[in-house]
Amino acid sequence: MTSPSTTDLPVGFQVQIDHRCVRRGDLRTLVGGSPLRVLKLSDAALGMTSDDGRIEVCDAGTRGLARKLLDAGIAHPRPMTGPREDQVTVVIPARGNQAGVDRLIAALPGLRVIVVDDGSPTPLTVPDDDLCRVIRFEVNAGPAAARNAGFDAADTPFVAFLDSDTVPRGEWLMMLLSHFSDPMVGIVAPRIVGLEHDRHRRGRPVAAYANQFSSLDMGPHEGPVRPGTPIAYVPSAALVVRREAFGRFDETLRVAEDVDLCWRTHAAGWVVRYDPIAHVAHDHRDTLRGLLGRRRFYGTGAAQLASRHGGLVAPVMTSVPLAVAVLALLSRTRIGFVVATVLSGWIFHRLRGPLAGVPARDLIAARNVGRALGFGVLQVWSAVLRHYWPLSVVGLIVSPRFRRWFVEAAIAEAVATWVRTRLDEPSSPMVEPLGYSVMHRLDDFAYGLGLWQGAIAGRSLGALRPVVTR
């Protein structure tokens, strides 16, 4: 993997300021991104920006402004052109699943395809034409090795990785390729949605939950992919990579190799982007045993990630003042409420300072204190219910007070997560709250089981260690 040779956006490239970062239609002060930032646009910068927040690169000034807004996560790319589809090879790693391979190839007309048969008991076959070929491993080497072999066999500037249980939708590739007109973009990923089946299968509770709350689905909001942010990684079930940016999948990893690749690519200076407008459907597991088994398997990868990336895997990332405020609030005592109020006031004062001269700065600071506290509470609930539940079992046995708190947290966290998802996509069909809550708790149980299994096998608790800064 090399670093980007240039950061210059091409003439004609456009960016769109995220409307969530604009207050009352005033583009002069932008508040958003992760971590939270405040950008104040000068008169010159405002002159480069249309009334709806669009900036088109046409000279050095617009190029610098567009890059700054992209880097801050306050604007999103709206490229007009990109590489051609004949500059892409699709690599399909597969072990068995001939029907899935056939279905996927049929959805890729006119594209070069390399199927890597990862030791299937019955060798995989592809159509006899000039566009498709098979590389066969006699012994199963794992999906990382299969993807790397397919990449090595391709000779195009871009490679798309698609798993054999996926089916791309519409103009998915054109949408993703357009992002590569930014020379800093190394990886782009689409949104993973559920593959539509017959009505009877879709109506099953497990299938409905898997389709709406898959761990492969990064949600409806676009953005840069960075560790420690709302889009911390993108799954390898569907990725498009630039050849010079590809650092290869770590073949020693049988799980979480996609997270590792995203974080190494970001550390090397490349941009990884997630574009939910492009859809690739995934044939999710629709049995309870299959779904929970997969969640447990994903959990085992946390320990290996921790050994490579340290605190980026931490189940809780917070600061000392916020941690104390959240724990005090969760104590539900009078003294705890006082402590939480005092610390919230101190955090408010710290946030208010950089907002000097910003309209409604008190409201903005107060809103962000509320969000920080809410996110902190959710982090604690999630950690206790998901990452640390084996320890929580001890508390359930020995402490009636903890038992009541645990049940309340289990209900409150599920309701809060369901409501947040509903607000994000109000028009999409949703699993009813009770069914979701039951499935969500089982999901957490399976993931936590895998996490502890990986930690014990690796003899390291790095994936369980919280990160608390000053």
Q: Give the pLDDT confidence of 418-470 residue by residue, as tens digits.
A: 999 889 888 777 788 899 999 999 999 999 999 999 999 999 999 999 999 98
Distance, in Å, from the CA atom of 134 to the CA atom of 167, rounded to the nearest integer, reads 19
Residue 201 pLDDT: 53
- Helix (H/G/I), strand (E/B), else coil: 185: strand
> Last residue of some domain: 271, 286, 301?
286
**Same domain flag for 100 and 204:** yes
**Same domain flag for 103 and 248:** yes
Kind plus residue range of the DSSP H or E element containing 288:
helix 288-309
Dihedral angle sign, alpha carbons of residues 379, 312, 259, 171: positive
Rg (CA), the chain: 23
Q: Is the link from the previous residue into 35 a cis peptide, with omega within 30 of 0?
A: yes
Predicted confidence (pLDDT) at residue 57 exceeds the cutoff of 70: yes
**pLDDT tens figures, 385-413:** 999 999 999 999 999 999 999 999 999 99
> What are the residue ranges of helices labelled H in 31-185?
43-47, 60-72, 98-106, 143-153, 172-177
Residue 359 pLDDT: 78
**Same domain flag for 68 and 100:** no
**pLDDT tens figures, 262-291:** 999 999 999 999 999 999 999 998 899 999
Distances in Å between the Cα of 110 and the Cα atoms of 92, 98, 107 are: 15, 20, 10
The answer to whether position 304 is within a domain reads: no
Does the pTM of the predicted model rise above 0.85? yes
**Same domain flag for 139 and 106:** yes
**Same domain flag for 34 and 112:** no
Beta strands in 377-435 (DSSP E): none
The answer to whether position 299 is within a domain reads: no
**Same domain flag for 381 and 271:** no
pLDDT grade, residue 244 (50/70/90)?
A: very high
Distance, in Å, from the CA atom of 165 to the CA atom of 92, rounded to the nearest integer, reads 10
The answer to whether position 291 is within a domain reads: no
The answer to whether position 188 is within a domain reads: yes
Distance, in Å, from the CA atom of 167 to the CA atom of 164, rounded to the nearest integer, reads 8
**Same domain flag for 49 and 152:** no
Mean pLDDT computed over 322-349? 95
Residue 348 pLDDT: 94
Mean pLDDT, the chain, as a whole number? 93
Predicted confidence (pLDDT) at residue 160 exceeds the cutoff of 70: yes
Mean pLDDT computed over 369-382? 94
The answer to whether position 301 is within a domain reads: no
Distance, in Å, from the CA atom of 231 to the CA atom of 411, rounded to the nearest integer, reads 25
**pLDDT tens figures, 86-132:** 999 999 999 999 999 999 999 999 999 999 999 999 999 999 899 99
**Same domain flag for 371 and 428:** yes
**Same domain flag for 73 and 92:** no
Residue 455 pLDDT: 95
The answer to whether position 309 is within a domain reads: no
**Same domain flag for 113 and 187:** yes
Domain span holding position 140: 85-286
Residue 198 pLDDT: 46
**Same domain flag for 253 and 325:** no
Mean pLDDT computed over 33-51? 90
Distance, in Å, from the CA atom of 144 to the CA atom of 133, rounded to the nearest integer, reads 19
**Same domain flag for 254 and 161:** yes
The answer to whether position 2 is within a domain reads: no
> Last residue of some domain: 47, 77, 107?
77
Q: Please give the tally of structural domains in the chain.
A: 3
The answer to whether position 296 is within a domain reads: no
